[in-house]
Chain A
Amino acid sequence: MNYFSLVKFQLRKKSNYIVAVIIGLIIGIATLVYTYETSWKNYLNKDVYEDITFRNLHIQTDNETSEEELQKLQALDYVSNVTYMYEYLKTYEIEDLTTNAETFARADFYTANNESLPQIVKGTDFPDDDGYYMVCPENFYSVLYNYEDLRTKTTSDKDDLSYYLNKELTLKYNGVLYNATKSEKYIFRTKVKLVGLYKNSQYSIDETTCYLNHNAMHDIVLNEYTDALNDYENQKNNGYILTVDSANHMDEVKENLDKLGYYYQDVSYIETDYLNNIFNNIDVAIFIVLILVFIFVFFIFKKDFKEDKAYYELLKKVGFNNSEIKKVYFLTSIIKSVIYICFITIITLIIFLLLKVILNYFPYLFVKYKVIYDYKIILYTLLILMFNLIINVFLNSRKVTLK
């Protein structure tokens, strides 16, 4: 017997589609909110928290720093790089990229080793010798007055440093005595070879962040303190900067430092509690929405069963046996579930299509981060529908054939 002939009439029931649209809109909006949350979390976890700025600890010591102690810290688990505080971060002009006297091609230089460098996409990481090397970002904005410019710059303004790969660039910088003397003697230039370009994160602070190997940074800083050796020696009391390999390991490294008796501070700190509270609230809200959808669908199935009961009684009267009637009921429930699933999927896709169109015209609406389309909510809804189907069939399969 073709059971579908006996249930296809359910496709004519308008209330099926009204309910499906309602559930579709609820789930579509919930999926949109969840996508927003997932995208934010992904952005924070992959880019923001992993940015080198938030993985650095300033270790303060009572004694003068020493190479021996630096190596001891370097050997700790999850520590990718340790530098002296005074060799940690400097800002220099890349003279080859400066186009006129009013603007400077300025970059921030961190000291790094191959372990702490970000992912290299062109060229290589630092060679293992005593040369002077640097790694720069793939998207590099050379001419800036301040960081605000980054937000207004377009991709066409960036420098393509591929041209300079494996060439020497000149870093220009002033010595510590330049301000006092204004003497040309304290304007220094050091040639550093650009060996690699790294992949920028989405978080817009690394477009002028470059990395120097230890050797280069050490000698450049020493140059800065020409004729000011006392000042240079004084810097040695400023402790170390320790870079952790991943934001996930920050707590473990801090624990180790506590055990060793070090006093430390986060170089930069981002307040996460507020954001985590928002995410938790969103999760709770979505959970409640799913529970409500479950209850709603349960009562819809129950109501539909009451309405369809007369049909099942009719089938009995015209000669269908109990087993046949149960199959009709089961197939009817499946068809309804399929209608709901189709509508939920279509409406959610329409909502996301609209989102894509909006983002095309207003790309900065959701800040500069990647939208991760998370369809987990649809899967949960599918489970809800299946579960409801099973429960209702279980509860009603005996009642189907009763008067």
Chain B
Amino acid sequence: MLKIINICKTYTINKNNILILQNINYEFQNSKLYCIIGKSGDGKTTLIEIMGLLLNYDNGQIIINDKDVSKLNENNKAMIRNKEIGFIFQSYYLNPLMKAYENVMLPMYLDNSLNNETRKHKAYDLLSQVDLKGRENHFPKELSGGEQQRVAIARALANNPDIILADEPTGALDSENALNILDILKNLAKKGKCVIIVSHDDRVKKYADVVLKLEDKSLKEVTE
């Protein structure tokens, strides 16, 4: 579960203060797929980065699995990101010098209780879950866009986080691959994860359990 309370965020550009988010409140539940829509520049990426503890904010609170993470220092926030949150991006963010399974292993390096053999085994397992069995030893350049995004999803699941944050996960994909990815994300939500997607893509809205609109610096549910 992820709860945001009175989140405010201002950017300062050329000594001008630009208010992006104002008193954003919402409670995201497990086992649901959320889609946040909004116009370009309305602050969707800002919001998801704040929720993912990647970006500081001016005011407010963030509660993750009943823990208030607002006042944590950078190291503890990093730990929360590693254990509780998985990220998926439009541009996949795979390291081109690492094979698919090595990319998936990346978040696991922070868990000292695992040895490399165990990490590798887990990575292979995760890749198999996203239908990439047999592709573990390929570099990103040898994979299609859809396959790369699936590797990114496997990586996001490396430490079995409860929360998945996805920023335009289908933005760089064709229809068929986009639907594949959305299927995977939907399944994750059904399995108990809290999946939050930021997207312009209308197809995402159809998959979402809840659609939220970020407009005029506030977040509101969109009813049909």
Q: Show the binding face of A for B, using Cβ within 8 Å.
A: 1-2, 5-6, 9-10, 12-13, 310-311, 313-324, 403
Interface membership of B106, Cβ < 8 A? yes
Asked if B54 lies at the interface with its beta carbon under 8 angstroms from chain A, I say yes
Are A323 and B87 also in contact (CB < 8 A) when A314-B95, A317-B54, A318-B106 are? no
What are 18 of the A-B contact pairs (CB < 8 Å)?
Answer: A1-B109, A1-B112, A10-B97, A310-B93, A313-B93, A314-B95, A314-B106, A317-B81, A317-B89, A317-B93, A318-B106, A319-B81, A319-B82, A319-B83, A319-B85, A321-B74, A322-B74, A322-B75
Q: Are B102 and A9 in contact (CB under 8 A)?
A: yes
| 8 nearest CB pairs, A to B | A319-B82, A321-B78, A9-B97, A318-B107, A319-B81, A321-B75, A317-B87, A12-B97
Question: Which B residues lie within 8 Å of A314 (CB)?
Answer: 93, 95, 106
Taking residues whose C-beta sits less than 8 angstroms from the other chain, chain B's interface range is 20 to 34
A17 CB, min distance to chain B CBs, angstroms: 13
Verify if B19 is at the interface (C-beta below 8 Å from A).
Answer: no
Of the residues A5, A318, A320, A323, contact of B116 by C-beta under 8 Å: A5
Q: Compute how far the CA of A317 lies from the CA of B80 in the bound complex, rounded to whole angstroms.
A: 11
In the complex formed, the residue of B with least CB distance to A310 is B93
Q: Determine the residue in chain B with the shortest Cβ distance to A2.
A: B109
The answer to whether B97 and A318 touch across the interface, beta carbons within 8 angstroms, is no
Distance in angstroms from B78 CB to nearest chain A CB is 4
Q: How far is it, in angstroms, between the C-alpha of A315 and the C-alpha of B83 when the chains are bound?
A: 13
Chain B residue at minimal CB-CB distance from A3: B109
Query: Does B93 lie within 8 Å of A9, measured CB to CB?
Result: no
- Provide the residues of chain B in CB contact with A321, threshold 8 Å: 74-75, 78-79
CB neighbours (8 Å) of A319 from chain B are 78-83, 85, 107, 110, 159
* A311:B95 contact, CB within 8 angstroms: yes
Which residue of chain A lies nearest to B75 when distances are taken between CB atoms in the complex? Answer: A321
Q: Is the CB of A320 within 8 A of B78?
A: yes
Q: Is the CB of B107 within 8 A of A13?
A: no
Residues of chain B within 8 A of A311, CB atoms compared: 95
Inter-chain contacts of B52 with A (CB < 8 A): 317
Among candidates B74, B97, B110, B159, residue contacting A13 with C-beta atoms closer than 8 Å? B97
- What B residues does A9 contact at CB under 8 A? 95, 97-98, 102
Q: What are the interface flags for B157-179 relative to A under an 8 Å C-beta threshold, 1 for contact and 0 otherwise?
A: 01100000000000000000000
Are B93 and A5 in contact (CB-based, < 8 A)? no
Q: Which residues of B contact A324 (CB under 8 A)?
A: 78, 110
Return the CB mask of B104-139 against A: 1 if under 8 Å, else 0: 001101101000100000000000000000000000
Residues of A within 8 A of B107 (CB): 318-319
Which B residues touch A315, using CB under 8 A? Answer: 106
> Is B193 among interface residues, defined by CB-CB distance under 8 A?
no
B94 — nearest CB in chain A belongs to which residue? A314
Check if B150 is an interface residue, CB within 8 A of chain A: no
> Which A residues lie within 8 Å of B98 (CB)?
9
Are A5 and B109 touching (Cβ within 8 A)?
yes
CA distance in complex: A324, B74 (Å): 12
Residue among A1, A10, A314, A323 with the most chain B CB within 10 A? Answer: A314
The answer to the question of B155 belonging to the interface, with a C-beta cut-off of 8 Å to chain A, is yes
Kindly list chain A residues whose C-beta atoms are within 8 Å of the C-beta of B93: 310, 313-314, 317
CB distance from A401 to the nearest CB of B (A): 9
Q: A10-B97, A318-B106, A319-B82 are known; give 8 further A-B pairs, CB within 8 A.
A: A1-B109, A1-B110, A6-B106, A319-B81, A321-B74, A321-B79, A322-B74, A322-B78
**Could you tell me if A318 and B95 are in contact, using CB atoms closer than 8 angstroms?**
no
In the assembled complex, the Cα of A379 lies from the Cα of B60 at a distance in Å of 56
Cα(A13)–Cα(B97), bound, Å: 7
- A377 to B116 CA separation, bound complex (whole angstroms): 42
Q: A10 vs B116: C-alpha distance in the bound complex, in angstroms?
A: 18
**Closest residue of A by beta carbon distance from B98:** A9
The reply to whether B54 and A316 contact each other, CB–CB distance below 8 Å, is yes
A324–B95 Cα distance when bound, in Å, is 17
User: What CA separation (Å) do A314 and B75 show in the bound complex?
Assistant: 16
User: Which residue of chain A lies nearest to B99 when distances are taken between CB atoms in the complex?
Assistant: A9
Which residues in A have their C-beta under 8 angstroms from that of B89? 317
Contacts of B82 in A (CB 8 A): 318-320
Residue contact B74 to A6, C-beta cutoff 8 Å: no
The chain B residue with its CB closest to the CB of A11 is B97
Within the complex, the shortest CB–CB distance from B164 to chain A, in Å, comes to: 13
- Bound-state CA distance A10–B106 (Å) is 15
What B residues does A313 contact at CB under 8 A?
93
CB-CB under 8 A from A6, the residues of chain B are 106, 109
> Which residues on B sit within 8 Å (CB–CB) of A10?
97
B50 to chain A, nearest CB (A): 13
CB-based nearest B residue for A315: B106
- In the complex, which residues of chain B have a beta carbon less than 8 angstroms from the beta carbon of A403? 54
Residues of B within 8 A of A316 (CB): 54, 78
For B97, the closest partner residue in chain A by CB is A9
Q: A9-B97, A10-B97 are in contact. Are A318 and B75 (CB under 8 A)?
A: no
Q: Cβ of A318 and Cβ of B87 under 8 Å apart?
A: yes
CB-CB nearest in chain A for B110: A319
Q: Is the CB of A323 within 8 A of B54?
A: no
Q: How far, in whole Å, are A317 and B159 apart by their CA atoms in the complex?
A: 13
Q: Which residues of B contact A318 (CB under 8 A)?
A: 81-82, 87, 106-107, 155, 158
